[in-house]
Amino acid sequence: MPKRHQDIEDIDEKPTVTPPDAEHMSKEETVTAVLERVDYISKVTEDGEAKFHKLTWQQLVVVLIVCAVALGTLSMPLVFMMLGMIGGTILTVGMGLIAIYTSFLLGTVKLKYPQVRHYSDVGRLLLPGRAGHILTKVLQFIFVFFVMLGVAAHFLTGKQAFSTIVGDKSICQLAWSAVTLVLLFICSLPPSFSEMAVLGYVDFVSIMGAVLITLIATGIDARKKGWDTGWSAYPMPGLTFGLAMIAASNVLFAYAFSIAQFTFMEEMAEPSDFPKSIAILGAVMILIYTLTGALGYAFIGPGVKGPALLSAGPTISRVAFGVALPVIFISGAILVTTIGRFIMDHMFRNSIVRYVNTARGWMTWIGIVFTTILVSWIVAEAIPVFSSLLSITASLFNSGFTLYLPAIMWFTLLREGGCFSSGKNIALTILNAFIIICGLIIFGVGTWASVDDIVSTYRKTGIGRPFSCK
């Protein structure tokens, strides 16, 4: 199979191609041993290229859904409660359409510049020379940091799920966090996204099961009340601009799949098929988020909690969390795999180790997976304000990965002709400028609103302790 990139020029086994006991071998034996070694390396490389370039466009849909659609789906009713049925619907559908458009831009960049393996690689394309190198390094740090925070968030969700299911408050929360760590590690062992896609089907059935259980239970309760739950088409009383921006940031976070899109597309057998994946993904996500938000808010009313399954009563909450357990581990695992592939591609770019089909490759992969999960666990447990930190980083970074960076890529990498050279370019210039402005507003105002919310919250409730049992 042909190599995808010309940077695979060397292999780390190259220094050992000559047998270690070559000095005791005849010339013919040495040549034979070297040829056998070269054949072995060629076979490992060929198998590795095949293994990591067989993701179909259908599987891309699955892994993107797994990356984006998790228990955060059940927080959408809270957004609708804050913004009202009309505002919530407009924001959810509008943000979804923008996210799908920017995802299409990223896919087009990948086709035009196949050397882009991960999001951070666009730094050298956006800026020339040393500035591009610095931007790439910054994006690499942000990429790993942001995805690792996403992994860490699954420890908090895992603790909450196990605690709700068991219902025994005397059990230390760290125990449930440790259980989550072990299960997440096991689910993260498959090294390719085509293998992870198999778990993705389980993930999708799991989250849809949890959503349906919650909506059916709350719908039955709403029927008993004569459908008079107090929902409103308009924003909640006392809604501030800051709270509205937090709601917008939460909706944007629900569409946070673009950060891993380059990494996923790197494994596609036919990258040019990506538009089909994005179209289906967009339709599914917008439908799920809008229906879950609207129906959840209509069935529960102003008292809706986040996630909404906590509003369904103790018994239903336990059942829903039980059904949703695979989501916690599989969605977290695909983020671990994303970081793992990033690290393998950078540390072993010119080595067959990155194919994870040798003993050394598997040992390295397992070590990277375990280290990633362990560091994420420490971050989640050591930072008392971690959940609030997550909302800040979502405003800081996701606004860029999903909104203004793809729009900037259109201006710098994809635009054909002047901004006002044709009707099409005028329309796209206005659209992408609008997306950049929206992204920068969420970046600035959304971050300010998140910080302000944290300050007011911890004035009332105080700050917890690291590695607490509560």
At 395 the pLDDT is 83
User: Can you tell me whether residue 343 is helix, strand or coil?
Assistant: helix
Which of residues 72 and 124 earns the better pLDDT score?
Answer: 124
Higher pLDDT, 175 or 33: 175
Mean pLDDT score across all residues of the chain: 87
Structure confidence at residue 15 as a pLDDT band (50, 70, 90): very low
Q: What is the pLDDT of residue 8?
A: 34
Token pair belonging to 461: 């409730």
Give the residue among 464, 90, 74, 91 at the shortest CA–CA distance from 306: 74
Q: Name the CATH superfamily for 53-383.
A: Hydantoin permease (1.10.4160.10)
**Burial tier of 267 (Cβ tally within 10 Å: 0-12, 13-18, 19+):** buried
Alpha carbon of residue 256 to chain centroid: 6
Rounded to whole angstroms, the Cα distance separating 73 from 56 reads 26
> Over 80: is that where the pLDDT of 187 sits?
yes
pTM (predicted TM-score): 0.87
CA 180 to CA 174: how far, in whole Å?
10
Extents of the domains making up the chain: 53-383
